[in-house]
Chain A
Amino acid sequence: MSSIKLKGSTSGEITISAPAVAGTNTLTIPAQTGNITVAGPAFHAYVSSNQTLTSGVWTKAQMDTKAFDTDGEFDATTNYRFTPTVAGYYHFMYGARLYATSQSTGVVAIYKNGGGAGGVQSNSNGTLPNYNAKFVSGLVYMNGSTDYVEAYSYIGGTTPSIQAGINTSFFQGYLVRT
C-alpha cells in the first residue's frame, strides 16, 4: 500500500494511504480554506421513564439514558444537556410523545444556552387530545467550549407527561460541518 506522510513543523504527522483494493479512485480536495471533518460527535439520548410535567410550564426533558454518545459529551445524569468540544454546525432533533388527559397545546423546543434564542422550536402548537408526537429539528452553531443545548416541552392540559422510550421521546444530534 502506497502512502504519503506529512510531518508537522514541530511534532505529529498525518499519513494518507491508498486502500488495498483494485481500481483507480480520485480524491479531490475543494478549492477553499477549511478543515476536513473526519468523524464528529454524535449522540442519542432518551427519556427512560415517563416524566410528569406541570401544566403550562416549560420543562426540561430528563434525557437520562443514552443509546450512544460517541464523544461522551451528553450529560444524562445532572443537566441533561449536550456540550460539544468540537466547534461547528450541528443538526439536532428532539422528538417527544406528549400526553395530557384534556385537549390542550403541546410544543417542543431545543434551547441553546438556556433560552430559545439561537435554538429552535416546533412551529405548530398541535393540540393534544391524548397522545401526540411532536418533533423539532434544526441546524445550530456550537462554539465547542461553552455552548450547550437542551430539550424542553410545554403541555397545557391536565395530567401532562412525556412518554418514555428510546424511540418515543429522544434527543439526537451530530456535527454536520466545522
Chain B
Amino acid sequence: MTLIEKIKQLRPNVTDDDFLPEGTIMLQNDSDGNGDYIKEWNHTETQPTQSELDGV
C-alpha cells in the first residue's frame, strides 16, 4: 500500500487533489533508501502519526 493510500484510508476527507503540486499535502522521496514521507501538511485534517501509518 502506498503512502497516499494509507493517508486516504486514515483520513477519508483527504482526496487525490490534495496531493497535487498545488494541493495541501506534499509527499517526498529523497532517493536515499528511506522511502516516501510527508514533507508538508497543510490540510484541515490532522496529520497522521508515524504510528498510525505503520498500523495500516
B26 at interface (Cβ–Cβ under 8 A)?
Answer: yes
Q: State whether A59 touches B21 (Cβ < 8 A).
A: no
A58 at interface (Cβ–Cβ under 8 A)?
Answer: yes
Interface residues on A, range: 20 to 34
State the CA gap A51–B29 with chains docked (Å): 12
State the CA gap A158–B56 with chains docked (Å): 22
> B22 — which chain A residues lie within 8 A by C-beta?
125
Which residues between 25 and 57 of chain A lie within 8 Å of chain B, taking CB atoms?
51, 53-57
State the CA gap A61–B29 with chains docked (Å): 10
| Residue among A51, A54, A62 having the largest count of chain B Cβ atoms under 10 Å | A54
Chain B's closest residue to A156 (CB) is B20
Q: State whether A58 touches B27 (Cβ < 8 A).
A: yes
Complex interface bits, A134-166 against B, C-beta within 8 A gives 1, otherwise 0:
000000000000000000101010000000000
Q: State whether B4 touches A58 (Cβ < 8 A).
A: no
Chain B interfacial residues counted at CB < 8 A:
17
Whole-angstrom distance from the CB of B37 to the nearest CB of chain A?
9
A107 at interface (Cβ–Cβ under 8 A)?
Answer: yes
Which residues between 29 and 55 of chain B lie within 8 Å of chain A, taking CB atoms?
29-32, 36, 39
Give which listed residue, A55, A60, A78, A125, contacts B21 with CB less than 8 A: A125
Q: State whether B21 touches A54 (Cβ < 8 A).
A: no
Q: State whether A55 touches B2 (Cβ < 8 A).
A: yes
State the CA gap A134–B27 with chains docked (Å): 20
| Residue among B2, B27, B31 having the largest count of chain A Cβ atoms under 10 Å | B31
Give which listed residue, B3, B16, B21, B30, contacts A154 with CB less than 8 A: B21
Q: State whether A105 touches B27 (Cβ < 8 A).
A: no
Give which listed residue, A59, A79, A105, A125, contacts B29 with CB less than 8 A: A59
Whole-angstrom distance from the CB of B22 to the nearest CB of chain A?
8
B: which residues have CB within 8 A of A? 2-4, 16, 19-22, 26-32, 36, 39
